[in-house]
Structure 1
Amino acid sequence: MRVHHSKSRIRAAALVSIGAIALAGCSATSDANEPEPESESTDASGALAAAEEFLQPWAVESDKDLLIDEPLDEPVEEGAQIVYLDVGTPVSAVMWENLQAPAELLGIDLERVETGRDAQSINSAMNTVVELEPDGVINITLDPVFFESQIAQLEEMGAPIASGSIVNSTEFGLPEAFNGAEWMRINGEALAAAAIMRSGGAEEFVFYNVPEFPFSALELEGAEAKMEELCPSCTMRVVDIPIAELGSTAADRVVSDLQSNPDTEYFIAAVDEVQIGLPQRISLAGLDVGGIAMWPAPPNYEQIANGEQDATLAVDLNLMMWTVLDQLLREMAGQSYEWPDVATRASTITHVIDQESAPANASEGYVSIPDYQDRFAENWLVG
């Protein structure tokens, strides 16, 4: 199944045709200096152009640098124990796998602790982490509010926590995540701009929010702001997808929503796990609605390569996990570092991917810096 977006393509073609007719008609007007009233097509055309311009950093391949590109003061001690907090989503499993290569390169021991998704499970899991007495902890997406007491215990034993996709780490005395609140907002802006551009100037959108992920609300915030800026006449509904449905019934919930709201032309999702298996369900339901999301897993890349899923705001998960580990190593060594500006961080790690630019290796996914492993090895004084 291909994602057709027939309404959007017709609209985009109409914009070109109307623009040509308008230009041809200028010579026939009685008063060439009289301003033309702004039309809906002009508004849509302007939104498309503005969206494309805004997206340039996310759409153009260019030379990129590591976010922290300086060597460690000394090599990492072999056998250092690092705990990875697994929140149980498909992307979390991918991130765990992405840590295996750098762990082997450094000779460190990785321990995987599954946290569960409710307060009691998280508390129990974090007590296990404290008992392990690790040298450091990597946390992706788990809100520190659920394990504040264990943060104090880990700090007491000198075990820092490096975070990814955490928007409030500094509120709990943790190091700032490279992809914190402002990073999430700006990527939300990129999602909105991409939705306008790829839909050909649609005006009826929906945002599928995952309320359990703090970053999801910030992506939504950024998307709403950019949508209002680029297309004031557009509307964007918000529908919540519970985290428990990711990897199971999320696609069914989306199809049900689209059936109940037939005017919806394009959707945005906070996480691409919402789209796993979705194209087939959309096709079976007789719908013709495409969308874009963030945080793709291998099945998303496969769907895009097959022309089933329209696009994704791809995150280089390998570069992300090596970067979070790099931050943790510097925290463990007490070495200072500084993140670049938010726009640089966002456009370095993320990229708009469609069928033409889909990675050949879905398991590897989007690669932002081809020689990143060699660069990290040099900075980590390995080899």
Structure 2
Amino acid sequence: MNRSPDLQRLLIIGLSGPIIALNLWLLSQIYRYFENLITVLLASALLALLLNYPVRLFERTGVPRTRAVIVVLFLTLTLLLFLGVTLLPSVIDQTGQVLQKIPAWLETSRQNLEALDNFAKQRNLPLDLKGFSGRINNQIEQQLPTLPSQALVLALGTLGGLLNVILILVLAFYMLVYGDRLWNGLINLLPARYGIPFSQSLWLNFHNFFISQLLLALFVTAVLIPIFLALRVPYALLFAIVIGVSELIPFIGAALGIALVTVLVLFQNVGLAFWVAVLATGVHQVRDNVLAPKMMGSFTGLNPIWIFVALLTGLQVAGFLGIVIAVPIAGTIKTTLDIVRGINQLDEERWEDEELSG
């Protein structure tokens, strides 16, 4: 007996859920087993994607591609060394100072909240700021003892990090020189009906989203550094970088970064925290409403709910790296499916026309 199309559709939808969940679980297990290798490969691919633009600029001036790649990588390495000598020590130093001062800030905030709580009780206001602050302080204080050990692990992992940087640069060099042939070979393994749309969609999404997101994060960081310095915000460099890095997380990253920095400044100066929140939010609004539409547009076409699902899935599978690349991957899947669906509809219409004409 033939099943109705609706029943077949329900069966497909019902089976697709467990299959997708199983595949996601399998991907997470594979990622955890090959985490370092996958991270190095993805970082190399993203770096090659970024450096391909200056390489093309050199090629337009008549420089051979291999020589252009060498020049660009040399300039990139020089920039990284300059940042490592000038910027990185300041960030590490400010991070250490912030971690050391958190207990004193918690004590100050507790005293301020106790005074505000007493003020509320004298006027019979239903507030329990003292209990609320005590619960938050206990949670933070429970995490503080683990910070020195985590810092030690980070320090011990510095050598491994340097080796990974070298591997990333070497792999990026080979990807820039031989990446087109490798990519074309992989795409040719797929049927042309799927391979060509997938290749175009992947390039479009990562080009529009990731590159634009990175440039916008650099814009926010560069604007906030002089603003925080002018306001005499403590640890201005560190806080500006925290907000800038949080911009890499789509939709919710900016709010999380601004909230975190505002709370840290609030421990020191309430009025200064207000201006930090207002000005950081203003810069973010310029980024969202002026620059982002011109650079990114609404290219993904994803429903906001699916975007959050993609972010949570990326976090579960690959942590912060998964969050950064979750949206372009989801956009790639959607765009590829839309293109393939359009091709199938054209084929069906052409087949129907041929039947009618025959």
**TM-score band, normalised by shorter chain:** under 0.3
Task: Say which one has the larger Rg.
Answer: 2
Provide TM-score, normalisation by structure 1: 0.22
Provide TM-score, normalisation by structure 2: 0.23
- Normalized per residue, the structure richer in helix is 2
User: Of the two structures, which has the highest relative contact order with CA contacts closer than 8 Å and spacing of 6 or more?
Assistant: 1
